[in-house]
A and B are shown apart, each in its own frame.
Chain A
Amino acid sequence: MKKAITIFLVLLIVSLSTVSAISLDDANTILDTVDTSRNFTGTDFSAVMTMISEDPDTGIEKKKVQQFRRDDSDMFLMLFIEPAAEKGQGYLMIDENLWFYDPQSRKFNHTSMKESFGGTDAKNSDFGASSLGDDYKVLTVEEGKLGRFDVYIMDLEGTNSEVTYPTVKIWITKDTNLMLKSEDYSATGRLMRTSLFPSYAKVGDKFLATKMIFNDELIDGKKTQITITDISSKDLPDSIFTKSYVERVNR
């Protein structure tokens, strides 16, 4: 009798898990959906980012950045507006090249998407078009909760060496497919950074994280919070995504 109950319970658990589990294929499709809902295809995008960095050594710093994006062509420009000492510095992504501009020397130099953005805990790759579906494949997926949200929790592995973090764990809302949290790991499996996205805005049919928090897991108490305001999905002049615009605006 006992044995029969055990077999029944095992079968019940197996059948329940089959019903509720999500396949890896489905999970990969969700990744693509995350990209689609975050990328501004068919339209340009601009906004102002306010970044506040906390560092146990250097204290609190505030930066303001004007962001222009054209996800269809994989282009963006980020211009520092504050503080005064960094005003006019910019990151320009064109033709698959990311350039940094220093207005003091009036020089551009190549930089990498993996580098820190303006010395904050954000990476340059955090501000371009989202390409989770292309850059990562889902290794495992499970269902869970984050706060009051029902989420899919996925372990991702980078499909190429260009990704900023080789392995990532993400929390995606089940109903809206928005990323709420990600844990970013090094190649050796060390947790490097935890990113939280507690607030989104709907711009047309797209979603934009309007609040981002990046916690540096290597230095206790070091983190950067980003708030996005002045959002616009109006078309931008082509000239904005050029080196000459960056130089001209700095004159």
Chain B
Amino acid sequence: MNGLIFKIAYRNLKEHKTKTLIIGTLMALAIMILVVGNSFMETAASGIEKTYIQNFTGDVVITSSEMENASLFMDGSMNNRDELIPVIPSSVEIQDYLNSLNTITAINPQIGGAALLKHKEDGTGFAMLFGVDPEMYEETFQNNINITYGTFLNPGEEGIVLSEAAVRMIKDTSGEIVKPGDSVLLTGMNSVTGTKIREVTVRGTFEFVNESPQLEMISFIDLNNIRIINGMLAYTEVAANLSDSEQSLLGELDEDSLFGSDDAGLFGGDLFSEDIVVLADDLESDYFDILGDTSERDKYSQTDPDAWHYMVVKLDDSVNEKRFIKNLNNWFLENSIDAKASGWLAGAGTIAKMSNTLSIVFNFLVLIVAIVAVIIIMNTLVISVNERIGEIGTMRAIGAEKSFVRSMITLETLMISVIFGIIGAVLGMIITALIGSIGYEAPNTFLQVILGGPVLYPVISVQAVVISLVTVALVGVVASLYPVSIALKISPVKAMGEN
């Protein structure tokens, strides 16, 4: 019986060669795109994940729970230049706890920041700063940078290791190349100590092993200088005392009352208040003592050695990252520490998330293609069934059950789907393998970011092939449902009469 259905289905496909080829080619094309696209996406996504975990974010990123965005690259927290990135509370306690766990392979505390660069008279540039302890950083992220000139920071040494992009920026503005041993002025701003200028020595220049436009703005700096630039102080000043007049101007102000409508306003409607003018005649003798006692200032220039923005944790391969994060967040809760642990993706920021989003968009597009394919196949099959009304009616008249007709049409669709699906998948694998051998060079910065580097070598994704074939089989079955229902409605007597 099964053999008979198979034979009839095969014969029908053969008799309607053109239709079979049209549907088949469409399906093969869709599967090919699916295999190539998904292989690209998967290679890029796994490449980005591996790159970020190995080189920047580790498996877990710890931040203050006040920090909405745990990105190490400060995207989202740099909207306002003087906005402070919250410091991790109880950082020493957290570090001690992490060190007591035997599931951790490395911890790297880190500080983020940004500064304008100035080299000699005319050289200017910009850098995103990673403030690191050189020993801990190198222990956590081995071989993720290439020193192009000079050295990395040495333990306890102040200085900056500039990215090649920063060196290029300075060269573009002044024509001069920054060399190790040169000084650069860094100017940053924070809401605690205002604008800060630091003169630091360039220890070396570098580029990341895995280049990306997101990474090329980063330069490494010692902890003391980054803490000064960020205003991460050991002591904080007491809140300001405001006079009644100053208090009265706080909050929302009504312009009419401020400028005195017909009634007396905030200033009684008087634009001139001469009485506040106090001519400071005795100022002359105080020109050089205008600041008074500056000893308190020294106190507020001491940085907090335990102030960190991020703690990047690398886990042993055997550890389940999600479970570890959950347990760590529970520990924070139990110990009333306002910190939070997040996965690598949160630490990687917008760029890595963009790649993930693109993958979702691609799969959505695939879904639309699948729906279109279902409609086309269904339409073609309906036409085919209508052409064979007499034949199907005759089959039914000579004793073919409804299930026979159903199986026959479903099998026809499945045969097209599977045969052309396999052809499409094979073509997709060949194309992926070919591109994989020569590499796909991203034509623009946007694609470079999405693909995680300038050149992508896609690897055939077995998962993509299997998913594609399953999808195509499902498309075949779904597409045959409506034509089958039409075929089953055919009355044998009427069909034979029409014939």
CB pair A86–B240 under 8 Å, yes or no, is: no
Q: How large is the interface on B (under 10, 10 to 19, 20 to 34, 35 or more residues)?
A: 35 or more
Q: Chain B at the A interface: mostly helix, strand, loop or mixed?
A: loop
Kindly list chain B residues whose C-beta atoms are within 8 Å of the C-beta of A57: 80, 83
Kindly report which residue of chain B lies nearest to residue A88, judged by CB atoms: B291
CB pair B194–A105 under 8 Å, yes or no, is: no
CB pair A213–B237 under 8 Å, yes or no, is: no
CB pair B246–A230 under 8 Å, yes or no, is: no
Kindly list chain A residues whose C-beta atoms are within 8 Å of the C-beta of B300: 83-85
Kindly list chain A residues whose C-beta atoms are within 8 Å of the C-beta of B256: 147
> Is B297 interfacial (CB 8 A cutoff)?
yes
CB pair B291–A148 under 8 Å, yes or no, is: no
CB pair A83–B237 under 8 Å, yes or no, is: yes
CB pair B253–A60 under 8 Å, yes or no, is: no
Kindly list chain B residues whose C-beta atoms are within 8 Å of the C-beta of A213: 249, 253, 258
User: How would residues 100 to 129 of chain A score, 1 for a CB under 8 Å from any chain B CB and 0 otherwise?
Assistant: 101111011111000010110000000000
Kindly list chain B residues whose C-beta atoms are within 8 Å of the C-beta of A230: 278, 280, 283
Kindly list chain A residues whose C-beta atoms are within 8 Å of the C-beta of B249: 52, 211, 213, 225
> Is A201 interfacial (CB 8 A cutoff)?
yes
CB pair B276–A229 under 8 Å, yes or no, is: yes
Kindly list chain B residues whose C-beta atoms are within 8 Å of the C-beta of A87: 291, 294, 296-297
Kindly list chain A residues whose C-beta atoms are within 8 Å of the C-beta of B246: 50, 52, 62, 225, 227
Q: Report the stretch among A10-18, A34-42, A131-139, A192-200 that lies at the interface.
A: A192-200
Q: Report the stretch among B196-204, B409-417, B478-486, B491-499 that lies at the interface.
A: B196-204
User: How would residues 236 to 269 of chain B score, 1 for a CB under 8 Å from any chain A CB and 0 otherwise?
Assistant: 0101111001100111110111111110011101
Interface residue total, chain A, C-beta cutoff 8 A: 70
Partner of B291, one of A61, A79, A219: A79
> Is B168 interfacial (CB 8 A cutoff)?
no
- A189 shortest CB reach to chain B, Å: 21
Given contacts A80-B194, A181-B255, contact A227 B245 (CB under 8 A): yes
> Is A22 interfacial (CB 8 A cutoff)?
no
CB pair B84–A240 under 8 Å, yes or no, is: no
Partner of A104, one of B228, B261, B262: B228
Kindly report which residue of chain A lies nearest to residue B192, judged by CB atoms: A85
- A180 shortest CB reach to chain B, Å: 6
Kindly list chain B residues whose C-beta atoms are within 8 Å of the C-beta of A66: 290
Kindly list chain B residues whose C-beta atoms are within 8 Å of the C-beta of A98: none
Kindly report which residue of chain B lies nearest to residue A82, judged by CB atoms: B240
> Is B406 interfacial (CB 8 A cutoff)?
no
> Is A94 interfacial (CB 8 A cutoff)?
no
- A215 shortest CB reach to chain B, Å: 8
> Is A28 interfacial (CB 8 A cutoff)?
no
Kindly list chain A residues whose C-beta atoms are within 8 Å of the C-beta of B262: 148
A–B Cβ pairs within 8 angstroms, 14 of them? A52-B242, A62-B242, A66-B290, A83-B300, A87-B297, A100-B197, A148-B260, A180-B259, A210-B276, A210-B277, A225-B249, A234-B281, A249-B291, A250-B294
The 6 closest A-B pairs by CB, nearest first: A147-B259, A62-B240, A85-B300, A102-B197, A84-B296, A230-B280
